[in-house]
Amino acid sequence: MKKKKIRKSFFAFLLSFSVITSFAQIGNINFLEGGIADGTKLFEAYLSPWANAFGASLNGGWYNTAKPHKLGGFDVTFSVSTTIVPASAKSFDLSKIDFENLTLAPGAETEAPSIAGENKDGPTLEYVEDFMGNPIKIASFKTPPGSNWGAIPLPMLQAGLGLPLGTEVTVRFIPKMKIPVIDSKVSMWGVGGKHSILQYFPGEKLIPIDLTLQGGYTRLEVSVPIELKPDASTSHFQVYDINTDFEDQEVNMKVTAYSVNLLISKKLPIVTFYGGAGYSKTQTVIDVAGNYAIPTFDPDISEIGPVYVDSSVEQVPTIDIKNHSGLRLNAGIRFTLGVLTIHGDYTKANYSVFTAGLGISFR
| For the chain, domain boundaries | 2-362
Mean pLDDT of the chain: 82
Confidence of residue 4 (pLDDT cuts 50, 70, 90): very low
CB count within 10 Å of CB 105 equals: 16
Q: What are phi and psi of 14, to 5 degrees?
A: -60, -45
CB proximity list for 227: less than 8 A, separation 6 or greater: 27, 28, 246, 249
**For residue 12, what are the CA distances in angstroms to 131, 153, 155, 158, 181?**
53, 14, 9, 13, 12
Q: Give dist(CA 297, CA 34) in Å, integer.
A: 12
Whether the predicted model's global pTM rises above the 0.85 cut? no
> What pLDDT does residue 225 have?
78
> What pLDDT does residue 130 have?
76
> What pLDDT does residue 272 have?
96
CB 46 within 8 A of CB 90: no
DSSP state of 211: E
Q: Give dist(CA 266, CA 275) in Å, integer.
A: 9
* Stretch 109-114: mean pLDDT: 91
Sheet holding 134-142, edge to edge: 102-104, 124-131, 134-142
Beta strands in the chain (DSSP E): 74-84, 91-93, 102-104, 111-113, 124-131, 134-142, 151-163, 167-179, 184-196, 210-225, 250-267, 271-289, 292-298, 307-314, 319-337, 340-348, 352-362
Provide Rg for the chain, Cα atoms. 25
Half-sphere exposure of 203 (CA within 13 A, CB side): 3
The dihedral over CA atoms of 30, 103, 136, 307, expressed in degrees to the nearest 10, equals: -20
Confidence of residue 175 (pLDDT cuts 50, 70, 90): confident
> What pLDDT does residue 149 have?
83
| CA torsion through residues 307, 312, 313, 314, sign | negative
Confidence of residue 17 (pLDDT cuts 50, 70, 90): low
CB proximity list for 235: less than 8 A, separation 6 or greater: 293, 309, 310
> What pLDDT does residue 64 have?
94
> What pLDDT does residue 258 have?
93
Strands 352-362 and 340-348, how do they pair? Answer: antiparallel
> What pLDDT does residue 47 have?
85
> What pLDDT does residue 310 have?
54
Q: Which of 183-192, 238-247, 273-282, 301-310 has the lowest mean pLDDT?
A: 301-310
Burial class (CB in 10 A: 0-12, 13-18, 19+), 269: exposed
Q: pLDDT tens digits for 62-99?
A: 999 999 999 999 999 999 999 999 999 999 999 999 99
Nearest alpha carbon to residue 329 among 257, 276, 265, 262: 276
CB proximity list for 199: less than 8 A, separation 6 or greater: 165, 166
> What pLDDT does residue 63 have?
94
Q: Give dist(CA 137, CA 283) in Å, integer.
A: 37
> What pLDDT does residue 356 have?
95
Give the residue, 350 or 77, on which the prediction is more confident. Answer: 77
Amino acid at 15: L
